[in-house]
Amino acid sequence: MIALWLLALLQVVAGAAVLVRLARGRDRTAPLQPGATARPGAISIVIPARDEEHRIEPLLSALTRSGSTVYEIIVVDDGSVDATATIVERWSAQDPRIRLLRGAERPDGWVGKQHALQQGLAVATAPWTLCLDADARPDPTLPEALLAAAQEHGYEALTAGPRFAVDTLGEAILHPALLATLVYRFGPPTNAPITSERTVANGQCLLVPTERFRAADGWAPVAANMTEDVALARHLVREGWQLGLVDAAPLLVVDMHASAGEAWREWGRSLALPGVASGREQLVDLATLTLTMALPLPMLIAAAWTGSLLLAIPSLVLLGVRVAFHVALRPTYDQPGPAYWLAPLADPLAVIRLGWSAWRPNRSWRGRTYSTSG
């Protein structure tokens, strides 16, 4: 009983910390909407691509419908062995803004994605560069909306959260639980520029000022990091940049994974922020989420077994918070179906994945395995 009461007390402390973070949602950014004024020639789009024949075509199709704000669309082929380059060349015949840049050999110390992005940045000519992953499905008005948000709030760089497509029953259950671990640790985005290094970012959609970012060495400071987006965000904050994180769910869908198994594997590269978060930060986060996401149901069972109603109160509150948060998270998913509502049952699995990501981070992607030095 002493151990159970100690766990309940720790749940109160951890729950209070999570509630403080979630409470920032009162000042969260309004979701981006279409209708921003076009700024002709303002944005170069850079897309890193490696073996993306099954995902890149919807992205290029969407970008061909973008307005005059998009000056050019540069696809950097990072050594693909499939039909990616052929698909890009076919689309470039339809829209002269699209061009294929065949990537150079990757130097030591660089992860492929950052190297591809760096090459695209080097040839971008518009004042702003928008980096999009090949699995992105943007609304044609997304570039204008991102630029308008950056200028309205004074952001010097801007990253955006999407709406997620989940393809299978298992992914619809697992993915929201994995995502919840991030929001529980870092809170939702707000209008104010990010000033704390304890932040996250989304490398699937990143807008930067071209010349200034080039002058700051672009992706070089995070060349070897598998969690390049968060590493870059924290680097920019340390360098004094006004970094923004906005909700682009109405204008951007991302289809990251084809199954729950793939989601389980791929989230291992980034979930615990390996190579970015310190060991202490990882340990505190894991303990906090164990107490607030993994233990409430077991603690309720223990409370019923011991007949102690007071022992159940922290877990009941935490479950109520989790359900309310899950309802609020629903617009972040694109037609997930009824399985979405089962996601809180996968919370213990998400916490286990967080711990495993910290202990044994995944440094493999698209047929490459990177050493800790890149």
Per-residue pLDDT tens digits for 208-218? 999 999 999 99
pLDDT at 111: 93
Output the pTM of the full model. Answer: 0.92
pLDDT band at 268 (very low <50, low <70, confident <90, very high): confident
Per-residue pLDDT reduced to its tens digit, 2-30: 899 999 999 999 999 999 999 987 777 78
pLDDT at 374: 44
Q: What is the CA radius of gyration of the chain?
A: 21
Q: How far apart are CA 229 and CA 219, in angstroms?
A: 10
Say if residues 145 and 34 touch (Cβ distance below 8 Å).
yes
Say if residues 51 and 84 touch (Cβ distance below 8 Å).
yes
* Secondary structure letter of residue 55 according to DSSP: T
Of 73 and 226, more confident: 73
Say if residues 228 and 151 touch (Cβ distance below 8 Å).
no
pLDDT at 102: 96
In the chain, where does the domain assigned CATH 3.90.550.10 lie?
38-176+187-256
Residue position matching structure tokens 């981070």: 361
pLDDT band at 373 (very low <50, low <70, confident <90, very high): very low
- Give percent of the chain with pLDDT exceeding 70: 99
The average pLDDT across 352-372 equals 84
**pLDDT > 50? residue 263:** yes
Token reading at 110: 């660089």
Token reading at 243: 């970094």
> Which amino acid appears at position 206 of this protein?
L
pLDDT at 365: 73
Q: How far apart are CA 73 and CA 51, in angstroms?
A: 18
pLDDT band at 372 (very low <50, low <70, confident <90, very high): low
CB atoms within 10 A of CB 286: 21
CB atoms within 10 A of CB 335: 10
Kind plus residue range of the DSSP H or E element containing 207: strand 205-209
Q: How far apart are CA 120 and CA 100, in angstroms?
A: 10
CA dihedral 165, 158, 268, 315 (to 10 degrees): -80
pLDDT at 37: 87
Say if residues 80 and 50 touch (Cβ distance below 8 Å).
yes
DSSP codes of every residue in 219-283 = TGGGTT-SSHHHHHHHHHHHTT--EEEEE-TTTEEE---SSHHHHHHHGGGTTT-TTTS-HHHHH
- With a CB cutoff of 8 Å and minimum separation 6, the contacts of 188 are 22, 24, 25, 28
The average pLDDT across 106-118 equals 94
Q: Which of 324, 340, 342 lies closest to 332, judged by CA?
A: 340
- Please state which CATH number belongs to domain 38-176+187-256: 3.90.550.10
Average pLDDT, the chain: 93
Kind plus residue range of the DSSP H or E element containing 337: none
Q: How far apart are CA 42 and CA 276, in angstroms?
A: 32
User: Exposed, middle or buried by CB within 10 Å (0-12, 13-18, 19+), for 27?
Assistant: exposed
Q: Is the dihedral of CA 164, 171, 22, 230 positive or negative?
A: negative
pLDDT band at 364 (very low <50, low <70, confident <90, very high): confident
Token reading at 239: 């360098």
List beta partners, residue 246: 160
Alpha helix ranges (H) inside the chain:
2-22, 56-63, 84-94, 112-123, 142-153, 169-186, 210-215, 228-238, 260-266, 279-289, 296-306, 309-329, 347-359
Kind plus residue range of the DSSP H or E element containing 290: none
pLDDT at 57: 95
Length of the chain: 374
Token reading at 97: 């803004």
